Amino acid sequence: MSIEFRSERRNLEVLTANEKSIKYEIEQRWDPLTSRMAVICPHLREKWVRFYDEQNEEWLEEMIEESKENCPFCRPVIDNIIAKFPKHQMDESILKLNDIYVFPNLYPRADFEAVVTSPDIHGLNIKDLGEAKVYDFLNAAFECIKKAYRSNAQLLYPVIGCNYLPPAGASLMHFHMQISIQKVPFNYVKNLIHFSERYEATKDTNFWLNLIKINKDRKIAQKGSIYWYTPFAPSGFSEVRAVVNKSNFLNFTEDDIRNLADGVSNVLNYYYHRGFASFNFVIYSNTLKAKNNRFFAGARIVARPSPSPSCKCIDSWYMPFLLEESIVLERPEDLAREIRDWF
Ligand SMILES: [Zn+2]
């Protein structure tokens, strides 16, 4: 089966100001497919976890309530101000499925970007994101991706992402998901495709099927075609991943989307019980042209720090954090020209 779960333990020692020795053990782990290293530091858990599960609920409720005023995604403002799809992108100027609206992101960073939201939901506690609600959002996103691809066959690499609350990079409190599609794969997906194909070419067997067979210690559940697990070498807080034994979104059935919604909702429910309020997820696909199943489509969810008056940074959303894409705001040439004056 040949999957290596490589890890090494290291002992660290620190001397306090009065020269008392403190010893720690850390564990370095390498992702069995990509070799990306993760460091597990159990001694930091106590220190870090309070940034994640200490709720300032009263302040958060106030923030959510205050943000309702002039919220661009609440009625009646949404119907007057949201962007519209040009005809060459979509037959409908705004895609509406029951109470869900899908419309272009006014500030795109990929070849195609859209927002998925419901004007009927403003702020939301993550415990209220049940399977039916998540399904409605995901189903609308999948519909939009299919339509966008039908209009432009170069929109090959779609992801559905969610940033909830400012610590996860959300600039609006109103609950929404996003669709990002590129002609080329996002870095994270590109690496997974590359290493999955290389594994199959050299070992003549499928990495993902092998992983599912031997990953028992980290298996969470298998629901239909979706396998939920915790990664051996995680890169986020309380990270949960899923793989689907289908390569691309065009092969997903309604049952697959329901199972995906059910799993996302279960993880969020768990997060709520851990005291977390904020999260990121992405659901990714191989190229929509993919014919083989060497690569499995999948999902990643991570908990993010709890919102607080001092934690409102919005630059670590799903694209840099989960898809390993850097978004920069200035051309390096312009920056160099400016910095030269300081030398
Ligand atoms: Zn709103």
pLDDT digits (tens, 9 = 90+) for 274-302: 888 899 999 999 999 998 888 999 999 99
- Residue 335, CA distances (Å) to 192, 222, 246, 315, 326 in order: 33, 49, 43, 19, 16
* Ligand 1 center to 295 CA (angstroms): 38
Average pLDDT over residues 121-135: 92
Is the pLDDT at 75 greater than 80? The verdict is yes
- pLDDT tens-digit series, residues 5-32: 999 999 999 999 999 999 999 899 999 9
% of residues, the chain, pLDDT over 70 = 97
Confidence band for 223, pLDDT divided at 50, 70 and 90? very high
Is the pLDDT at 335 greater than 90? The verdict is no
Is the pLDDT at 261 greater than 90? The verdict is yes
* Ligand 1 center to 166 CA (angstroms): 14
- pLDDT tens-digit series, residues 90-102: 999 999 999 999 9
Planar angle of CA 317, 323, 325, nearest 5 degrees = 80
pLDDT at 257: 97
* Ligand 1 center to 76 CA (angstroms): 10
Domains of the chain: 7-49 (no CATH), 55-333 (3.30.428.10)
Residue 316 vs residue 264, higher pLDDT: 264
Confidence band for 343, pLDDT divided at 50, 70 and 90? confident
Neighbours of 12 (CB within 10 A): 11
* Ligand 1 center to 277 CA (angstroms): 18
* Ligand 1 center to 187 CA (angstroms): 32
Is the pLDDT at 334 greater than 70? The verdict is yes
- pLDDT tens-digit series, residues 37-55: 998 888 877 777 777 777 7
Least confident of 45-54, 154-163, 200-209: 45-54
Least confident of 49-58, 104-113, 141-150: 49-58
* Ligand 1 center to 279 CA (angstroms): 18
* Ligand 1 center to 117 CA (angstroms): 9
Residue 198 vs residue 127, higher pLDDT: 198
pLDDT at 253: 97
* Ligand 1 center to 132 CA (angstroms): 20
- Residue 264, CA distances (Å) to 15, 228, 261 in order: 44, 10, 5
Confidence band for 328, pLDDT divided at 50, 70 and 90? low
Average pLDDT over residues 114-118: 98
Asked if 167 contacts 55 with a C-beta cutoff of 8 angstroms, the reply is: no
Average pLDDT along the chain: 91
The DSSP bridge partners found for residue 332 are none
Q: DSSP for 58-110, please give it.
A: HHHHHHHHHHHTT-TTSTTHHHHH-----TTT-SSSSEEETTEEEEE-SS--S
- pLDDT tens-digit series, residues 297-327: 999 999 998 887 766 566 678 888 888 876 6
Is the pLDDT at 1 greater than 80? The verdict is no
Average pLDDT over residues 178-195: 97
Nearest to 83 by CA among 68, 70, 73: 73
pLDDT at 221: 93
